[in-house]
Structure formats: structure tokens, C-alpha cells
């Protein structure tokens, strides 16, 4: 994303009619989606730039023959060699996973087989991990959650529209073909695939929807470990825990008790052969993209249904994705050394502080919030833990040995390291310095249970943030992103956590009611946006993100006004600083997306499609209307009684 350019705009479209078109029309008309991608936009431009940097780092590590095998460079180099060796992968066929395909002799073996898959980060039946205790945020507890399905969301199994039915049929075909690649006869492969779909559909029906799961109280049921055994007496939890190396367990959060009960019923109703096929499928499907070309192509062809991409990404890009997953902190350390000097961290911190001050001003000025809630909101804001760039302590992968020839073995070694690290936290105090995103990631996030705002180095880069730009352009882009993450602390979900990250109600009743009224308007607004044919944005699924977008752009705008008061700016290229701010905000969301990917996003993703992240929030803002002289009745001016405004 270069600084603003008129060539990216379509000035024949009035800004008050369709601002996304006005700001991004030139860009949209002059770009197309590369065949290996499902979408292309400003975020991709930044991601691609980072990929080139990471590619160089890994190539250098692979060529450094003097690095000891157990050193950071040695581990990265070996991983990269093994990953890039497509001839070795093709020669090995299914061999890397054969030992994991061993069948169970009796249903009694199921708990220990599921445990052995979970130990390698392979999905099966449910998820079992440590998590921060939502009620006592200083401690880690064990958590059992719904899981075990191969499609992106439970709704995929239950849709009856033609696209939904076609996707299910393709999924069964994909399972069957994968089994055939393992050498199964076609009729047996097909029968196994049908049975797996039946089992996964039972799990899907018992699962909460993605909207239900957004309610933090609905997924918090802390019970004694003995109660888990009573809730689900047929599944042998003791055998499962023993196989995972957990000798004793006091309590556990059962996120979806109903799901666990249904799972228990399946123990006696599902035939042994179906269990065998199901576990086998989970092993194959996890490894498939990393196996020989025949397997990887099968995996890609099925995923095309969900992404619309026309060709596979080149091997080095797939390898980067896996290196990020398997040795993320080693990659991150090298990335930060090269791309994120201490001055960059300091500069980003100044910007974060300016945004925090602006959000504080907004909270002070709210006319709908009473004094008690206001004080607590400010207290929460001031307690934000700021995580900028990279963690203070990096994971060291001690004990992980990298082969120079076997990618799957390397992946499983890392998966085991991570699963063990995760379970070791149960019953221990929370490490508040831990990061859950790698430093090289092009994204940011807010953690409600840590009350932390997180901005990885991967995002704090030109061309997203460039010290050579004018304030208006920087505040409209990275400023709005920073404000977005902060506002998550006060979105419909985040506001239910206190300043230490406990799930605790700190709102006065009237203030909470007024908040909900405003949030409902945001939900209604976005549910009104049609995306493809009859498919609309899900205003409830995307509510937190839309509130964060709306808050982020308001907070960044007012932070800019403060900066301009201290350091006035002139028009540039005919645009006022305020206009440049909104143009820069919109430019960040310039994006093209294939219909399949758009459909997948609307069904599964908490974020609204890009054009509505521009036109949605801006049509609510008098600040925007003033900047471009929009009038009542213009499409970019929502009628006053429908307008959403929280901050």
C-alpha cells in the first residue's frame, strides 16, 4: 500500500454515494486476484512483502552449514530443507503417517487413541487443552470443548440449500479419494466416507453455533473432574487423562456440557469400524497437504470448494506457513532482528499511547454512560497491558529435533512440544507475558482474559505504517487498527471482562441496557447488508468486530484531531487532513474476493466483508459526513434514528 494515490480512486463516483468505490475504485479495477489466492487486497500486499523477508531468512538458515543442529539457525535450516524437498515427499507417499494409522482392536482403545492424536495436534472428537480460568483469571485450568469435525463450522453439516448440499457431497468424495490414495478399494472407501459424515454430523448437531459461542457465560461451566466422569460415564476419561500424562485433575471447564453428553451416547451407538475409519481420516486429513503431490493435490482440490483459489501456492509459500505454525518463535526472533529495531517499537508505543488517550477522552465524553461505569471503564483502559512487536520471552523448542528430510516428522515433533507445553500449564498461575500470535503475523488482537492489546511486528511495517507519511494517513490506517483492538476491550463480549480479565459484570444496570440498545443497532445495520444473492452479513456473528471497527475509526479520528491541534497540516493533493484520514482508512480495506471465499467468510468469519468495513462504520459517522460534505438522504448518511454510535 503506497501512500494515497489518485490512481487508486474512482472520482467519478461521489464519495457520499459509495465511499469504498470512491476511495478504492481505481485499485479494484486495476487489480485481479492471483490464481493461487482466494482474495487479494492491501493486507495481502503487506503479507507478501513479509513473506519475501521470511523467505530470505529461511533460505539463509538452510544454507548455513556451520550451525549446530540444536541451535536456532540449525533447527530452522533443517526444517526448511526437509520442507522444500518435494522429491523426498513424493518418494515417501503415505509412509510418514503409516504408524499413526494403526487400527484399534476394541472400542476400549478409543480414549487412548484419541489422546495419542491430540498429543500431535490432530483433531478427534473434542478438544482438551489448558486455558485461562474465566472466573479466576490468574490461574490456568483444563478445558474440554466441542470439536472433531472436518468442515470449517458445524453449520456446514446442517445446511439444506443447494450450495450446502453440494459441499457435503464433495466432502464425502474427498474422504473417499483420500482413502483410495492409501490403497483402499473404491467401494470400501466410499462406505467409510459416508459413515464418517454420519458421525461428524452427530457431532455438529451437538455443537453450539458460532454465535452462541460468542457468549462467554455460555461456554463457562467449571466442574470437578469427578463431575465430568458423571456427565459422561461411558467415555473413559481416566484412561484418556492417563494417556495424556495427567495424573490428577481437580476441576475442568466443560465449555459445552450438552456436547459431551451426546459424545458419551455415541460411545455405545457407533460401530467399531466407523471409529476406526474416523480416526484414520483425521490422521490423513491433518497430514495430507504435507504428503506427496497426489495427497496434497487431493487436499487442495477439496479446499478449492471453500476458497475458490485456482492453483496451489508455490511450495515455498506453503512451507513458510508451516514453519510459522511449527517453529513460529524461531522465525519470529530472526524476523524481529531484521525488521523491527527498538526505534520502531518505541515509535509504535507513542502511537498506542496517543490512541489510548483519545479513547479515554471519548469515554469521558459519553453522554449515555453514568459516573460509576465510566470510572470502571477508564480503570480498565488504564490497565491495558501493551504488547508491541514481540514477546519478552521466546519459546526455545528445547528437545525438538529437526530432520533434514522428513517434514511430517518435524511437524509432529513441534506439535507434541506445543501440546505438552500447553497441558503443563494446568493448575499453574497464568504467564501474562505469553503471546498467542507470532511476531511476524500481519494482524493484531485484544485478549479479554489478559486485558492486553497486541500488535505484532509483522503489522507495524510499511506500507501499513510509514513514518514518512503525514499524520492523517498514518492515523487512518494503523491508527484505526490500534483503536480497533482497544475497542475490543469494550465490545459486546469484551465488556463482560474486568480489568484483570475476569468474567465479571462491572456495569451499572442502566448503562448496560443503554449499551445493548446501541449494540443492537450495529447488529441490525450489518444484518441488512446483502453479500451474494440472499446471503447477508450475520450481524450477530460479526457484532464484536463491527463495534471494534466503529470504535477504532472514531478513536483514531479524534487522536488525529489532537495531533493536528498541536501540529496543523495543510491540504495535500487537494484533500484536507480529515479527508485523507478517511481515504487512508478505506484504502486499508481495498480488497477483491472470490465468491467461494466470500461465502465461506460470511458463514464462518467474525469479520464483515471488506467493503462493509468501509461503508458500514463511515455511514454512521457525522465526522465522515462533515469531511466530505455529505447530506441527509445520501447513501453514506444513515438516517439519524438508525445510526449506530457507541463511542
CB 468 within 8 A of CB 401: no
Q: 246 or 450: whose CB is closer to Zn ion? A: 450
* 122/453 with CB nearer Zn ion: 453
Residues between 498 and 527 that touch Zn ion (CB under 5 A): none
Q: How far is the CB of 588 from Zn ion (least distance, A)?
A: 13
Binding segment for Zn ion among 309-317, 354-362, 435-443, 537-545 (CB under 5 A)? 537-545
Strands (E) across 147-215 are located at none
Work out how close the CB of 545 gets to Zn ion at its nearest, in angstroms, rounded to a whole number: 5
Cβ distance 606 to 614 under 8 Å?
no
Spatial CA neighbour of 480 closest among 587, 576, 322, 570? 587
Count other Cβ atoms within 10 Å, centred on residue 509.
10
Closest CA to 483 of 494, 475, 472, 473: 475
Q: Is 31 exposed, middle or buried (0-12, 13-18, 19+ CB in 10 A)?
A: middle
CB nearer to Zn ion: pick between 254 and 548: 548
Question: Which is nearer to Zn ion, 498 or 545 (by Cβ)?
Answer: 545
Q: Provide the minimum distance between the beta carbon of 636 and Zn ion in the complex, in angstroms, as a whole number.
A: 23
Name the minimum Å distance from CB 548 to Zn ion: 5
Q: Which is nearer to Zn ion, 548 or 630 (CB)?
A: 548
The only residue of 407, 548, 553, 646 in contact with Zn ion, by rule CB under 5 A: 548
Distance CA 94, CA 286 (A): 12
Residues 3-42 that bind Zn ion (CB under 5 A): none
DSSP, collapsed to helix, strand or coil, labels residue 536 as strand
Torsional sign, CA 218, 223, 227, 233? positive
CB of 625 to Zn ion, least distance (A): 25
> Which one of the spans 61-69, 269-277, 517-525, 547-555 is the region binding Zn ion (CB under 5 A)?
547-555
The closest alpha carbon to 243, from 340, 342, 166, 128, belongs to: 128
Which three cell numbers, joined as nine digits, stand for 187?
467401494
Smallest gap from Cβ 459 to Zn ion, in A, equals 12
- With contacts defined by CB under 5 A, name the span among 238-246, 286-294, 400-408, 542-550 that binds Zn ion: 542-550
Q: Which residues on adjacent β-strands are paired with residue 146? A: 126
Task: Rank residues 579 and 608 by Cβ distance to Zn ion and give the closer one.
Answer: 608
Distance of CA 598 to the CA centre of its chain: 16
Residue 400: CB partners within 8 Å, gap ≥ 6? 75, 413, 414, 417
Spell out the residues 6+ positions from residue 349 whose beta carbon is closer than 8 angstroms to its own: 386, 388
Task: Considering the complex, state which of residue 381 and residue 548 has its C-beta at the smaller distance from Zn ion.
Answer: 548
Rounded Cα distance, 452 and 503, in Å: 15
> Between residues 410 and 441, which has the closer beta carbon with respect to Zn ion?
441
Q: Closest distance between Zn ion and the C-beta of residue 232, in Å?
A: 35
Task: Pick the stretch among 232-240, 292-300, 526-534, 546-554 that binds Zn ion (CB under 5 A).
Answer: 546-554
Could you identify the residue written with the cell 490500534?
Answer: 482
For Zn ion, the binding residues in 290-319 under the rule CB under 5 A are none
Look up cell 505484532; give the residue.
456
CA distance 417 to 358: 42
Give how many residues touch Zn ion by CB under 5 A.
Answer: 2
Cβ at position 549, least distance to Zn ion in Å: 8
Binding track, positions 43-82, relative to Zn ion; x by CB under 5 A: ----------------------------------------
Of 135-143, 177-185, 429-437, 540-548, which segment contacts Zn ion by CB under 5 A?
A: 540-548
Site residues, Zn ion (CB under 5 A): 545, 548
Amino acid at each position: 500500500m503506497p501512500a494515497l494515490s489518485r490512481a487508486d480512486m474512482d472520482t467519478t463516483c461521489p464519495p457520499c454515494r459509495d465511499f469504498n468505490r470512491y476511495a478504492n475504485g481505481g485499485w479494484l479495477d486495476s487489480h485481479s486476484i492471483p490464481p493461487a489466492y482466494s482474495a487479494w487486497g492491501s493486507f495481502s500486499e503487506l503479507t507478501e512483502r513479509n513473506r519475501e523477508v521470511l523467505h530470505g531468512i529461511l533460505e539463509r538458515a538452510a544454507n548455513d552449514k556451520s550451525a549446530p543442529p540444536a541451535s536456532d539457525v540449525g533447527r530452522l535450516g533443517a526444517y526448511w530443507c526437509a520442507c522444500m524437498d518435494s522429491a523426498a515427499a513424493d518418494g515417501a507417499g503415505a509412509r510418514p503417517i503409516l504408524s499413526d494409522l494403526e487400527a484399534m482392536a476394541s472400542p476400549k482403545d478409543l480414549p487412548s487413541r484419541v489422546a495419542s492424536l491430540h498429543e500431535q495436534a490432530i483433531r478427534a472428537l473434542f478438544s482438551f487443552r489448558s486455558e485461562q480460568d474465566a472466573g479466576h483469571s490468574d490461574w490456568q485450568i483444563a478445558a474440554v470443548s466441542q470439536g472433531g469435525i472436518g468442515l470449517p463450522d458445524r453449520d456446514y453439516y446442517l445446511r439444506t440449500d443447494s450450495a450446502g448440499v453440494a459441499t457435503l457431497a464433495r466432502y464425502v468424495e474427498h474422504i473417499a479419494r483420500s482413502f483410495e490414495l492409501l490403497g483402499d478399494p473404491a467401494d470400501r472407501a466410499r462406505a467409510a466416507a459416508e459413515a464418517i459424515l454420519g458421525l461428524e454430523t452427530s457431532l455438529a448437531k451437538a455443537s453450539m453455533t458460532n454465535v452462541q459461542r460468542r457468549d462467554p457465560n455460555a461456554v463457562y461451566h467449571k466442574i470437578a473432574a469427578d463431575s465430568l466422569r458423571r456427565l459422561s460415564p461411558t467415555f473413559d476419561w481416566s484412561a484418556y487423562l492417563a494417556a495424556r500424562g495427567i495424573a490428577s485433575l481437580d476441576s475442568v471447564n466443560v465449555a459445552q456440557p450438552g456436547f459431551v453428553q451426546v459424545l458419551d451416547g455415541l460411545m455405545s451407538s457407533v460401530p467399531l469400524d466407523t471409529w476406526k475409519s474416523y480416526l484414520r481420516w483425521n490422521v490423513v486429513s491433518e497430514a495430507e497437504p504435507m504428503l506427496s503431490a497426489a495427497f496434497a493435490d487431493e487436499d487442495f482440490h477439496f479446499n478449492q470448494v471453500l476458497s475458490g483459489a485456482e492453483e496451489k501456492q508455490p511450495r515455498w509459500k506453503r512451507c513458510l506457513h508451516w514453519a510459522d505454525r511449527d517453529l513460529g518463535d524461531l522465525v519470529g526472533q530472526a524476523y524481529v532482528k531484521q525488521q523491527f529495531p527498538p526505534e520502531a517499537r518505541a515509535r509504535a508505543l507513542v502511537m498506542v499511547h496517543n490512541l489510548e488517550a483519545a479513547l479515554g477522552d471519548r469515554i469521558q465524553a459519553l453522554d449515555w454512560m453514568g459516573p460509576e461505569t465510566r470510572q470502571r471503564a477508564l480503570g480498565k483502559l488504564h490497565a491495558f497491558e501493551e504488547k508491541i512487536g514481540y514477546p519478552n520471552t521466546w519459546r526455545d523448542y528445547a528437545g525438538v529435533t529437526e530432520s533434514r528430510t522428513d517434514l511430517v516428522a518435524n511437524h509432529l515433533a513441534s506439535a507434541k512440544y506445543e501440546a505438552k507445553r500447553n497441558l503443563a500449564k494446568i493448575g499453574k498461575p497464568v504467564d501474562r507475558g505469553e503471546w498467542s500470535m507470532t511476531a511476524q503475523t500481519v494482524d493484531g488482537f485484544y485478549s479479554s482474559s489478559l486485558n492486553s492489546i497486541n500488535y505484532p511486528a509483522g503489522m507495524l511495517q510499511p506500507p501499513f505504517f510509514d513514518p514518512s507519511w503525514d499524520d492523517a494517513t498514518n492515523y487512518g490506517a494503523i491508527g484505526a487498527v490500534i483503536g480497533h483492538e482497544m475497542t475490543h476491550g469494550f465490545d459486546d463480549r469484551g465488556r463482560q471482562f474486568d480489568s484483570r480479565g475476569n468474567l465479571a459484570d462491572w456495569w451499572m444496570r442502566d448503562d448496560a441496557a443503554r449499551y445493548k440498545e446501541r449494540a443492537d443497532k450495529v447488529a441490525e445495520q450489518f444484518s441488512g447488508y446483502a453479500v451474494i444473492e440472499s446471503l447477508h452479513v450475520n450481524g450477530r456473528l460479526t457484532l464484536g468486530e463491527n463495534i471494534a471497527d466503529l470504535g477504532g475509526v472514531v478513536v483514531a479520528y479524534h487522536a488525529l484531531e489532537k495531533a493536528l491541534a498541536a501540529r496543523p497540516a495543510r491540504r495535500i493533493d487537494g484533500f484536507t487532513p480529515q479527508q485523507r484520514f478517511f481515504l487512508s482508512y478505506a484504502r486499508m480495506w481495498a480488497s477483491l474476493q472470490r465468491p467461494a471465499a466470500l461465502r465461506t467468510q460470511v458463514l464462518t468469519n467474525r469479520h464483515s466483508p471488506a467493503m462493509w468495513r468501509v461503508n458500514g462504520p463511515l455511514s454512521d459517522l457525522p465526522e465522515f459526513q462533515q469531511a466530505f460534505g455529505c447530506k441527509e438522504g445520501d447513501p453514506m448518511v444513515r438516517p439519524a434514528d438508525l445510526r449506530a454510535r457507541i463511542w
